[in-house]
Structure 1
Amino acid sequence: MEWLVSLMGAGLVMVTLRDLFHTLWHPTRHGGLSRLVMTALWRLARRFRARRRVVGLVGPLAMVTVVCMWASFIVLGWAIVYWPHMPGSFTFSPGSEAAQEPALVDSVYLSLVTVATLGLGDIAPGEGWLRLVSPLEAVMGFALLTATVSWVLEIYPALTRRRVLAIRLALLRDSDPTQQQLDCTAGAVLLDSLATEVVRVRLDFTQYAEAYYFHDGEDHSSLAAMIGYAAALAERGQSAGRPEVRLAGDLLAGALRDLAAILDQRFLHTGAAPTDVFAAYAADHGRAQ
C-alpha cells in the first residue's frame, strides 16, 4: 500500500512535467492543463465584459497561475511520495520537533524545502532509494525556475512582433495608398514584406499559443483590429496589373489564410472562412475591424 501511494505521487509529478514540456518545449506547444487554465481565465474575463485594463492582465495572470499550478503539483506529488515512508525512513536533526508533527505536514514541508533547494537539513532521507531520488526534486525546482524565466523572455518578443505588424498596418491604413501607388515594384515589395511578417505571427501563435491571451493596447497596436486591412491589401494586390504585385498579393493572401486556419483550429473553432475567422478574432479581443 505504501508503494502504491508513492507511485500515485510520482504519477502526479510526471503529469506535471509532461504539461510543462508540452507548454514550453514541444514544437507545437500543445499544453493540456496550462491551456485549460489560460482559456478559462480568458473566457471568464470576456464573459463578464471586464474593462480593457483588467483584460490586459489576463495573459500575465494566466502565466503566473500556470507556474503556480506546476509548482504546487510538483510539491504535492513529491509530498505524496514521501508521505507513506514518514517518519521511519527519514532522519531528524537533534532537538527538532518535526517528528512530532503529522506525517503529511512533514512530507509537504520536506517537499517545499527540497524543491526550493534550501537544504535546511532538519529532515533528511535515511533509506538508500530516498537518498537517490530526493535530489531529483531539487533538480525539478531549479528546472522550473529556469523554465519560467525563459518562458517570460520568449513570450514578449512574440508579442512585440505582433504589435509591430499591427502598427504597420495602421500606418498604411492611415496613409491610404491608391491602387496606382500599390501597383508598382514598391507595392510588390510592401506586400511581400507584410506576408513575411504575417508568417512570423502565424509561427508565434503556433509556438507561443499563450500569446493569444495577451490583450493588445489601443486599436493601432491590436492585430485583431488591423488584420482585416491586411486582407483588403491582399485583395487589391491580387487585382493589380503588374504580375509581381499579383504574386505578392497571392503570397499575402496565402499567409493570411494560414494564419486564419491556425487561429480557428487552436482558439476560435468557428469552421468559417478566413474573413469570418478574423472577424471572430477581433470580436474575441473586443475589437471591431
Structure 2
Amino acid sequence: MKWLVSLVGAGLVMLTLRDLFHTLWHPTRHGGLSRLVMTALWRFARRLRGRRRVVGLVGPLAMVTVVGMWTSTVVLGWAVVYWPHMPGAFAFSPGSEAAQAPALLDSLYLSLVTVATLGLGDIAPGDAWLRMVSPLEALVGFALLTATVSWVLEIFPALTRRRVLAVRLALLRDADPAPRQIDCTAGALLLDSLATDVARVRIDFTQYAEAYYFHDGEDHSSLAAMVGYAATLARRGQAARRPEVCLAGEVLAGALEDLATILDQRFLHTGGTAADVFAAYAADHGRSLAQP
C-alpha cells in the first residue's frame, strides 16, 4: 500500500513534467495545462466590464498561474511520495520537533525545502532509495526555475515582433500608398518584407501559442486590428503590372492565408475564409479591422 501511494505521487510529478515539456520544448508546443488555464482566463475576462483593462492582465496572470500550478503539483507529488514512509525512513536532527508533527505536514515541508534547493537538513532521507530520489526533486526544482525564466524570455520577443508588424501596418495605412506607388521595385521590396514579418508572426503563434492571450494595447500596435490592411496591400500588389510586385503580392497573400489557417486551427475555429478569421481575431481581441 505504501508503494502504491508513492507511485501516485510519482505520477503527479510525471504529469507535471510532461505538461512543462509540451508547453516549452515540444515542437508543436501543445501544453495541456497552460492552454486550458489561459483559454479559461481569456474567456472569463471577455465577459467582464472594463474588458480591455482586464484582458491586458490575462497573459501575465495566466503565466504566473501556470507556473504556480506546476510548482504546487510538483511539491504535492513529491510529498505524496514521502508521506507513506514518514517518519520511519527519515532521520531528524537532534532537538527537532518535526517528528511529532503529522506525517503529511512533514512531507510537504520536506518537499518544499527540497524543491526550493534550500537544504535545511533538519529532515534527511534515511533509506538508500530515498537518498537517491530526494536530490532528483532538487534537480526538478532547478529545472522548473530555469524553464520559467526561459518561458518569459521567449514570449516577450514574440510579442515585440507582432507589435512591430502592427505598427508598420498602421504607418502604412496612414501614408495610404497609391497603387502606382506600390507598382515599383520599392513596392515589391515592401511587400516582400511584410510577407517575411507575417511569416515570423505565424511561426510565433505556432511556437508560442500563449502569446495569443497577451493584449497588444492601442489599435496601432494591435495586429488584430491592423492585419486587415496587410490583406489590402496584398491585393494591390497582386493587381500591379510589374511581375516582381505581383509576385511579392502573391507571397504576402499566401503568408496571410497561412497565418489565418493557424489562427483558426488553434484559437478561433470559425471554419471560414481568411477574411472571416481576421474579423473573428479582431473581435476576440475587442477590436475592429482597420479600414484603408
Give the TM-score normalised by structure 1: 0.99
Cross-structure match for 1:54? 54
* CA distance in structure 1 between the partners assigned to 2:80 and 2:261 by the alignment: 43
Number of residues paired by the alignment? 289
Question: Can you list the C-alpha shifts for 1:216-261, whole angstroms capped at 9, x where unaligned?
Answer: 0100000000000001111111111111111000000000010000
**In 2, Cα distance between equivalents of 1:241 and 1:49:** 50
Q: Structure 1: which amino acid aligns with 2:205?
A: F
Residues 50 and 10 of structure 1: is their aligned pair in 2 closer, same or farther, counting only changes over 3 Å? Answer: farther
Name the CA distance, whole Å, in 1 between partners of 2:47 and 2:28. Answer: 28
CA–CA distance in 2 between the matches of 1:219 and 1:272? 24
CA distance in 2, matches of 1:189, 1:44: 42
The whole-number CA distance in structure 2 between the counterparts of 1:168 and 1:125 is 59
1:50 positional shift: 3.7
Query: 2:91 aligns to what SS in structure 1?
Result: strand
Cα deviation for residue 275 of structure 1 reads 0.4
1:53-202 pair list within 5 angstroms: 53-202=53-202
Q: Which amino acid aligns with 2:34?
A: S
SS, match of residue 124 in structure 2 = strand
Q: 2:97 is matched by which residue type in structure 1?
A: E
* 1: CA distance, partners of 2:75 / 2:49: 35
Letter in 2 for 1:170: A
Counterpart check, 1:19 vs 2:22: no
Report the RMSD for the aligned CA atoms in angstroms.
Answer: 0.7
Show the 5 A alignment for 1:237-248: 237-248=237-248
Q: Distance in 2 between matches of 1:281 and 1:49?
A: 20
Code of the residue aligned with 2:36 in structure 1: it is: L
Aligned to 1:271: 271
Structure 1 unaligned blocks of 5 or more? none
Aligned-pair CA distance for 1:49: 4.1
| 2:128 aligned partner, one-letter code | G
Deviation at 1:54, TM superposition (A): 2.0
What is the aligned partner in structure 2 of residue 36 from structure 1?
A: 36
Residue 263 of structure 1 deviates from its aligned partner by 0.4
Q: Secondary structure at 1:36's aligned position in 2?
A: helix
Q: AA paired with 1:55?
A: V
Amino acid corresponding to residue 32 of structure 2 in structure 1: G
Show CA shifts across 1:70-114 (max 9, x none). 000000000000000001100100110001111000000000000
Q: Aligned AA for 2:247?
A: L
CA distance in 2 between partners of 1:86 and 1:270 (Å): 54
Q: Share of identical aligned residues, percent?
A: 83
- What is the rounded CA distance, in whole Å, between the counterparts of 1:33 and 1:7 in structure 2? 21
Deviation at residue 277 of structure 1 after TM alignment: 0.2
Moved over 3 A (4+): none
Secondary structure class of the residue paired with 2:28: coil
How far, CA to CA, are the matches of 1:86 and 1:268 in structure 2?
A: 49
Distance in 2 separating the partners of 1:168 and 1:85: 62
Residues 1:233 and 2:233 are matched in the alignment:
yes
For the residues of structure 2 that align with 1:266 and 1:64, how far apart are their CA atoms? 22
- CA apart distance, 1:26: 0.8
Local SS of the residue matching 1:134:
helix
Cα distance, 1:28 vs. partner?
1.3
In 1, Cα distance between equivalents of 2:115 and 2:202 = 36
Deviation digits for residues 99-153 of structure 1 (CA, Å, limit 9, x no counterpart): 1111000000000000000000111000000000110000010111111111111
- Looking at structure 1, the residues matched to 178 and 240 of structure 2 have their Cα atoms a distance apart, in angstroms, of 11
Provide the rounded CA distance (Å) in 1 between the counterparts of 2:288 and 2:119. 54
Q: Deviations over 1:164-217 (max 9, x none)?
A: 000000000000000000111111110000000000000000000000000001
The equivalent of 1:222 in structure 2 is: 222
SS in 1 for 2:9: helix
Residue 53 of structure 1: CA displacement? 2.1
Q: Distance in 2 between the 1:25 and 1:44 partners?
A: 28
AA partner of residue 281 (structure 1): Y
CA distance in 1, matches of 2:274, 2:54: 29
Aligned letter for 1:177? P
CA distance in 2, matches of 1:231, 1:132: 59
Measured after TM superposition, the shift of residue 51 of structure 1 is 3.1
Q: Give the SS at the match of 2:3.
A: helix
